[in-house]
Amino acid sequence: MRILTGNDLKSGSVTWWTGSDWSLHVEDAVDVAGSEDEIARREEASRRVNAPYAIDAEIYEGRPRPSHIKDRIRALGPTVRPDLTLKPTDPDIGTWVI
């Protein structure tokens, strides 16, 4: 599957296209295969996202998970500072990233 990501214009936070809005959580992402360019163009024009692009993802335990480790780290936060990630108390998050 293909999922769409970008950064929030004001905060710079990594965001994911949910089909109607942008979420901080990659688990909310939806498949945009075939329509990524159109959505990216429209959303960037309306300043709801900065520099959007599509990446490959797969379903992992029922939720989208980026295929490449770089995108997984981007989705979660730095592996060396779990306190700064989106899931600071999740004991299984290392497995999800690596």
Partner 1 sequence: MYLYDQYDQAMVDARVAEFRDQAQRRLEGKLTEDQFKPLRLMNGLYLQLHAYMLRVAIPYGTLNSRQMHALADIAEKYDRGYGHFTTRQNIQYNWIKLEDAGDILADLAEVEMHAIQTSGNCIRNISSDHFAGAAADELVDPRPYAELLRQWSSFHPEFSYLPRKFKIAVIASDTDRAAMRLHDIGIQIVKNDAGELGAAFYVGGGMGRTPMIAPCIKEFVPLDRLVTYAEACLRVYNRHGRRDNKYKARIKILVHEMGAEEYTRQVDAEFDHMLSQGIEPPFAELERIRTFFEDPLFEEGASAEIDRSDPDFALWVDRNTHAHKADGYVSAVISLKPVGGIPGDATSEQMRLMADLAKDYSFDELRVMHTQNIVLPHVRVADLHALWTALEEAGLGSSNLDTIEDIIACPGLDYCSLANARSIPVAQKISERFAANGKTEALGKLKLKISGCINACGHHHAGHIGILGVDKKGVENYQLLLGGSEAEDVSLAKITGPGFDEAGIVDAVETAADVYLREREDGERFLDTYRRIGMAPFKEALYG
88 near partner 1, judged by CB under 8 A:
no
The kind and range of the H/E element at 2 are strand 2-7
The kind and range of the H/E element at 63 are strand 63-66
- 53 in the Ramachandran plot: left (φ > 0), alpha (ψ -120 to 50) or beta? beta
Closer to partner 1 by CB, 64 or 77: give it: 77
11 near partner 1, judged by CB under 8 A:
yes
Residue selected from 18, 23, 35, 50 as contacting partner 1 according to rule CB under 8 A: 50
Residue selected from 20, 34, 61, 80 as contacting partner 1 according to rule CB under 8 A: 80
Q: Let me know if 82 is exposed, middle or buried by CB neighbors in 10 A (0-12, 13-18, 19+).
A: middle
Total chain residues near partner 1 (CB under 8 A): 23
Vertex 56 angle, CA 29 and 36, to 5°: 65
Closer to partner 1 by CB, 20 or 46: give it: 46
- Where do contacts with partner 1 occur on this chain (CB under 8 A)? 7, 9-14, 44, 47, 50-51, 67-70, 73-74, 77-81, 84
